[in-house]
Amino acid sequence: MRFPDGFLWGAATAAYQIEGAVAEDGRGPSIWDTFSHTPGAVLRGDTGDIACDHYHRWREDLDLLRELGVGAYRCSVAWPRVVPAGAGRVNAPGLDFYDRLVDGLLERGITPMLTLYHWDLPQALQDAGGWANRDTAEHFADYAAVVHGRLGDRVPYWLTLNEPYCAAVVGHLEGRHAPGLRDELTAVTAVHHLLLAHGKAVAALRAAGVTGQVGITCNLTSVHPASDAEEDVAAARRLDLHENRMYLDPLFRGAYPDDAAAHYAPVTDFGFVRDGDLEQIAAPLDYFGINYYERHHVRADPADPARGWQRVPPEHPTVTGIGIHPEGLSEILERVAKEYTPLPLVVTETGLALHDYAGPDGEIADDERVAFFEGHLRAAHEALTRGVPLFGFFPWSFMDNFEWASGYGVRYGIYYVDYPTQRRLPKRSARWYADVIRDNGLR
């Protein structure tokens, strides 16, 4: 099963999850520093203070990427390293770090794909209202221009945001992520301001003459009603609105979905949307990134028949409680290509959390992860054969890291990180992936 020539095999990480060095070289605090230091917020009280110490070990890490053979590496820039208070003063040492990183990648023949926002909002902006405050969108565009000003000559792929759904909903409605709020109006407002920030950043990058490709990454789910019953079908449609269409429609159709006004009417009339916002949000992109983890079967929620839904628990849950459904990936890729955009697509993340450990022989036998990636690659390939313009695949994650509210309690890496010594060890999946890259597909 071969992939097209030039297919982009990558690996992905994010700043707060790997860098550590949270108080070094002028970095300001982010909402994740605050949240992870809040008792009870993160499993076992884990924080990203040290994480994988990538800030100091980046050279060795880039060497590993080279050994793995990837063509590209997706990482994120920490806004609070570059603009410690989120707005205003630029911190040159922060930019220097990413400058060295980008050069280090290029020297090793690896293409950088930079995400500008992977959830580490500067705390000073949160103190001023965070994503509920429209000004945050403007500050983000300024920050994007600053990063572009330094790295724009060398970065072929830009992503404005990672997973606006998680930033808005998991952070402001479910309270499981920073800033830990539980308020639906704030969450829907945050959705809009995140999308607006994306649109403004795209405009800023274009105005600066960006030569790289500009895109955004959304996490999308494959949603199916659990039965043909009218209530289940309606519940599935609501979940699809909540998880997918609230992002896809504004980005690619320049409007919130038709059913959004009625669904959110109990909390908001969308008064935060101003003239011109949706045009800005829907400004043309060069590519679109998709993160895929979840497929849901949905039934009506008897406790909330008008607005709710229930996700049917998976038959075989993984350690994070979700199921494994590779076919959901081809469904999503085909849906996006058919219903939303002819843009080139890239799987910017998919991956499996396990409780990996090194055996007595030093081997980390993550065969379930290999099977997971094989299944997802087959699904991606199937989408390709059906005409989806997929140009790359980035496993999550290059190495084990700080998994947000789960701290270091689960591992997603294809490299194992022994946190006490910070040694990196290839898991079986890393060796398998190196073969996939070399063969440009599966044997």
Interface with ligand IFM, residue 221, by CB under 6 A: no
Decide if 413 contacts 397 (C-beta within 8 A).
yes
Interface with ligand IFM, residue 217, by CB under 6 A: no
State the nearest-atom distance from the C-beta of 407 to ligand IFM, in Å.
11
Nearer Cβ to ligand IFM (291/341): 291
Decide if 108 contacts 69 (C-beta within 8 A).
no
- Token pair in block for residue 24: 């070094």
Q: Report whether 279 belongs to an annotated binding site.
A: no
Decide if 91 contacts 140 (C-beta within 8 A).
no
Q: Which residue has the tokens 């405050």?
A: 133
- Collapsing DSSP states into helix, strand and coil, what is residue 338? helix
Residue 75 pairs with which residues in a beta bridge? 114
Nearer Cβ to ligand IFM (218/260): 218
Q: Report whether 17 belongs to an annotated binding site.
A: yes
Which one is catalytic: 19, 163, 243, 331? Answer: 163
State the nearest-atom distance from the C-beta of 347 to ligand IFM, in Å.
12
Task: Name, in order, each residue with C-beta under 8 angstroms of 436's C-beta and a sequence gap of 6 or more.
Answer: 9, 373, 377, 442
Q: Report whether 403 belongs to an annotated binding site.
A: yes
249 phi and psi, to 5 degrees? -65, -50
Task: Name, in order, each residue with C-beta under 8 angstroms of 397's C-beta and a sequence gap of 6 or more.
Answer: 11, 12, 13, 17, 349, 351, 412, 413, 414
Interface with ligand IFM, residue 291, by CB under 6 A: yes
Interface with ligand IFM, residue 403, by CB under 6 A: yes
Tally the C-alpha atoms within 13 A of residue 244's C-alpha that lie toward its C-beta.
24
Which letter does DSSP use for residue 403 in this model? -
Interface with ligand IFM, residue 120, by CB under 6 A: no
State the nearest-atom distance from the C-beta of 397 to ligand IFM, in Å.
7
**Among 33, 46, 120, 163, which residue sits at the site for ligand IFM (rule: CB under 6 A)?**
163
Pairwise CA distance, residues 290 & 282, whole Å: 17
Nearer Cβ to ligand IFM (195/260): 195
Residue closest to ligand IFM, measured at CB? 14
Known catalytic residue: 334?
no
Known catalytic residue: 163?
yes
Q: Report whether 91 belongs to an annotated binding site.
A: no
Q: Report whether 291 belongs to an annotated binding site.
A: no
Annotated catalytic residues are 163, 349
Binding site for ligand IFM (CB under 6 A): 14, 17, 163, 291, 349, 396, 403, 412
Q: Residues marked as binding for substrate?
A: 17, 118, 162, 293, 396, 403-404
Question: Where is the binding site, in residues?
Answer: 17, 118, 162, 293, 396, 403-404
